[in-house]
Structure 1
Amino acid sequence: MILVTGATGLVGSHLLKELTGRGCTVRALYRSAIPSSDFNGKVQWVRGDILDVVSLEEVMKGVTQVYHCAAVVSFHPKRKQQLHQTNIEGTANVVNACLDAGVQKLLFVSSVAALGRIRENEAINETMNWTAETSNSEYGKSKYLAEMEVWRGIGEGLNAVMVNPVIILGAGDWESGSSGIFKSAYEAFPWYTDGVSGFVDVQDVVRAMVLLMEKDISAQRFILSGYDVPYRTIFTVAAQQFGKRPPHKKVTPLLAEIVWRLEAIKGKITGKDPLLTRETARTAQAKVYFNNEKLLQYLPGFQYTPLTDTIQRVCSELKQQYKL
C-alpha cells in the first residue's frame, strides 16, 4: 500500500496517475473534496490532514511507502504562519507517523527554494542550503526547515529521500501554483523580465520520484530540473500555443519595485492576495541556474522531456480542461 499526501495538487494528482498506471494500489489523503477522477478504482481516498496526528496514525496503517507532496506554496507575508504550520509542523508529523508505523520508505517533495535560489554567480547544487542571504523567500525557509525534519527522521532510522524540483510545468489549477504561468500566457500578459530559472515537466518529476522510491537510495536529495531558460521563453512559447500575443514589454528592476508596492496597497484595500509581492518581483529578475547532474548519475538513462514538447502538451490539456 502506497500513501500519497497532497494528492489533489499538481504533483500529487500526476503521481496518482503514474502509480495507478503501474498497477499500484494507492491510498490518497484529501482535505475537502475528492477529485472527479477515480483512477479506475485503484485509489483509496481518505479524508485527513497532516496537521491532525490522529488521522495520520490511522491512514498509515498497512502502508509501506509514503510520498509526502502536501505543502503550502505562497509568497505572501500574511501566510507566514500557515506556511510554517503546514510545511514544517506537517512534515514533522508525517515523519513521526512513518517512524511509528514502520514505513519502509518516505519520499519528500521539497523545493529548490530550500537550497537558496538567489545565487547568480554559481549554479545551485544539492550541497547548498537556504540562508537569509541566499533567499528572499519565507516559503524557501519553510521548505528548508521541513527538510531538517526529514533529516531528523533519517537520523532516527527512517529510510527517506528528497527531491527539489524547480518551477514545475503541468496542467493543474491555473488560479494557483505554477500552472498560473499558462493563464498569464493565455491572457496575453504583456510584461517580461530578463530573469532565468529552471523548469521541469511534472511528468518527469513524478517519474523520477517513482524511480528513486524503487531504488536502494536513501539519505539523499536531488534537484529535478530539465532546462534553465528565461521566463520570457516559457511565456512566449505558451502564448504561441494559445494563439495569443507573446510578452513584449520589458519590466525593469525599478518598475518591478514600484509595481509590487502598488500591488501591496491594492491588496490591503481589496483584501485579496496581490498578484506580485516583493519576493516574486525580485525572484523574477534573478538569473538562476541549476546543476541537475546528480539525479542523472543515480538514474542513468533518465531523460528530461524537451521543453517545447512539455509546453505543447500542457497547453493542449489546459484547452480541454478549461474548454478554451
Structure 2
Amino acid sequence: MKVAVTGAAGFVGANLVDQLVGDGHEVVAIDRVANQRSTSSAVTWVNADILDPNAMRTAFADVETVYHLVAVVTLRMQDPVAWRINTEGVATVARAALDCGVRRFVHLSSVHAFDQAQCGKVLSEATPRSIDPEIPVYDRSKWAGEQELRKVIDDGLDATICNPTGIWGPADYLPRLSRLNGLARSAAKGRVPAFISGVGFDLVDVRDVAAGMILAAEKGRTGENYLLGGEFANLIEWMRQCARSAGRRGPLLGLPLSALEAVMPIAEPIGAKFNSDIISKAALGPLLASPLVDHSKAANELGYTPRTLERSVRDFISFLVESGQM
C-alpha cells in the first residue's frame, strides 16, 4: 500500500516510517528539513509545506492512507506560529487528502488536547477539552486542530485521531533529542543530581505510538479519539531507573514541588530571556495534575498493547549505547 507521512523526519515520524516500511508499505515521506534518516528504497522524500494545498495534493497522488504528524510543540502561553501550524496546517492537509480521494486519514493530536486540570484523577476520551485561555497555546491549538479536522470529516473524509501521552524511547538522535529523551539521557549519564519528587506523568514508548497509529488506520472508527498511553511514572523514579540501567546513580535529592512553585516568578522570566520555556507555568501544569490515563478504548477497539516502562528504559539505554550517544 502507498501511504504518506507528514513530519516524517521528526522523532515520531521517523519511527512510524520505519514501521510502515517494515510492514511492506511504500512511503511518501513529507518534511521540510534535511534530517532524512530512512534511506530505504521504499521511501520517497518530498520537501513540501503543509500550508500549501497544491503541494499537499501533489504529494498525496495515488496515496491510500495519510498520517499527519506535523506540529509545533511548545510550552509557551502564546505562539502564533504554533497556533497556525497546529490548526490551519491540519485543515490544509486534511482538505488535500479529501480532494485526492485518500481512503484513510490518521491525525496525531496529543493528550494535551484534553484539559488535565479538569480530569480529576483519571483522564479519558470523555475528559473536558483544552479551551481555557489560561492554559498553554499547544494544548489549545491541538484541540482546535481536531475541530478543524472534524469539519473535513463532515465533508466526507474518513479520519481518526490519536492522542498520545508523554512520548519517549528509541530511536532518537542527537543533537535534537526529544525533551523527555534528553532528560532520560542526562539522568543515565549521572547529570541530574536532584529533581522534583512526588510528581508523575504517563509515559509511552514512541514505537508503541507508531504501532497505535497504524492500528488506528486499520481499525479506528471515523471521527473517534484514541488515547495512546503507556504507564504512569513517578518522574524521579523513572530517571533513577534510567541511571541504574546505565550503571550510574540517579537523582539523589528529591525536591518538593512547592520549591519549584516558589522560584517560578523569578525563574520563568530568566528562562524567557534565554528563549527557554522549560521552567514555566505551562511546564508546571501537567506536573500539578499528574493524571492517570485510561487507554482502554484503544486497547479494546484497536488491539493496542504498549510495552512496560521497564522494557522501554532498558531498550532506550541500550539504544543510546549502541548508537554512540552515551
TM-score, with structure 1 as normaliser = 0.91
Inter-partner Cα distance in structure 2 for 1:261 and 1:322: 39
Can you give the 5+ residue segments of structure 1 that lack an aligned partner in the other structure? none
1:281 to 274, 279, 284: 284
Alignment of 1:15-26 (within 5 A): 15-26=16-27
Matched-pair contact (CA < 8 Å) for 1:125–1:292: yes
The answer (yes or no) to whether the contact 2:227–2:297 under 8 Å persists in 1 is: yes
The aligned residue for residue 270 of structure 2 is 266
Hey, what does 1:83 align to over in structure 2? Answer: 82
Task: State the alpha-carbon separation in 2 of the partners of residues 135 and 307 from structure 1.
Answer: 32
Q: Check if 1:157 corresponds to 2:156.
A: yes
> Which residue in the other structure is 2:101 paired with?
102
Distance 1:322 1:134, change over 3 A: farther
Residue 58 of structure 1 corresponds to 58
- Counterpart of 2:298, as a letter, is L
TM-score (norm 2): 0.91
Give the drift of 1:248: 2.8
1:195-274 alignment runs, 5 A limit? 195-215=199-219, 217-269=221-273, 271-274=274-277
Query: What is the correspondence of 1:99-178 to structure 2 with a 5 Å cutoff?
Result: 99-119=98-118, 121-132=120-131, 136-171=135-170, 172-173=172-173, 175-178=177-180
- Label 1:242 to 1:29 Cα distance change in 2 as closer, same or farther (>3 A): same
1:37 maps to 38
| SS across alignment from 1:164 | strand
Deviations 1:268-305 (A, max 9, x none): 44x331431111123223321111111111034x4221
SS of corresponding position for 2:139: helix
In the TM superposition, what is the alpha-carbon distance from 1:37 to its structure 2 partner? Answer: 3.0
SS at match of 2:162: strand
| AA matched with 1:230 | N
Whether the aligned pair in 2 keeps the contact of 1:57 and 1:101 (CA below 8 Å) is yes
Using the alignment, how far apart are the partners of 1:36 and 1:293 within structure 2? 33
Q: Is 97-106 or 283-292 further displaced after alignment?
A: 283-292
Q: Is the 8 A contact 1:125 1:290 kept in 2?
A: yes
What is the CA distance between 1:92 and its match in structure 2? 0.9
User: Which piece of structure 1 moves more, 169-178 or 312-321?
Assistant: 169-178
Of 46-55 and 131-140, the range deviating more from structure 2: 131-140
2:184 is aligned, of 182, 185, 189, to: 182
Bigger mean CA offset, 231-240 vs 152-161: 231-240
Task: Give the 3-state SS of the residue equivalent to 2:249 in structure 1.
Answer: coil
Residue identity opposite 2:70 in structure 1 = A
* 2:219–2:301 Cα contact (<8 Å) kept: no
In the TM superposition, residue 120 of structure 1 has moved relative to its aligned partner by 6.1
Alpha-carbon distance between aligned partners in 1 of 2:130 and 2:167, rounded to the nearest angstrom: 23
After superposition, the Cα gap between the structure-2 partners of 1:216 and 1:86, relative to the gap in structure 1 and judged at 3 Å, is closer
What is the aligned counterpart of 2:306 among 289, 304, 307? Answer: 304
String of CA shifts for 1:148-183, please: whole Å, max 9, x gaps.
111111111110011110101223245443322313
What's the % identity of the aligned pairs? 27
Equivalent position amino acid for 1:215 in 2: K
Partner of 2:82: helix, strand, or coil? helix
Matched residue SS, 1:94: helix
Distance 1:17 1:7, change over 3 A: same
The structure 2 residue matched to 1:292, chosen from 295, 313, 316, is: 295
> 2-side partners of 1:178 and 1:281: how far apart?
15
Distance 1:121 1:231, change over 3 A: same
Deviation at 1:322? 4.1
Equivalent residue, structure 2, for 1:74: 74
Local SS of the residue matching 1:56: helix
Q: Secondary structure at the match of 1:179?
A: helix
Q: Are 2:49 and 2:55, in contact at CA under 8 Å, matched by a contact in 1? A: yes
Aligned residues: 320
Distance 1:274 1:107, change over 3 A: closer
- The equivalent position to 2:197 in structure 1, one of 193, 200, 209, is 193
Change beyond 3 A, Cα 1:66–1:220? same
CA contact (8 A) 1:108 1:161 kept: yes
Contact 1:114/1:141 (CA < 8 Å) preserved in 2?
yes
| Residue 14 of structure 1: aligned partner | 15
The root-mean-square deviation of aligned C-alpha atoms, in Å, is 2.1
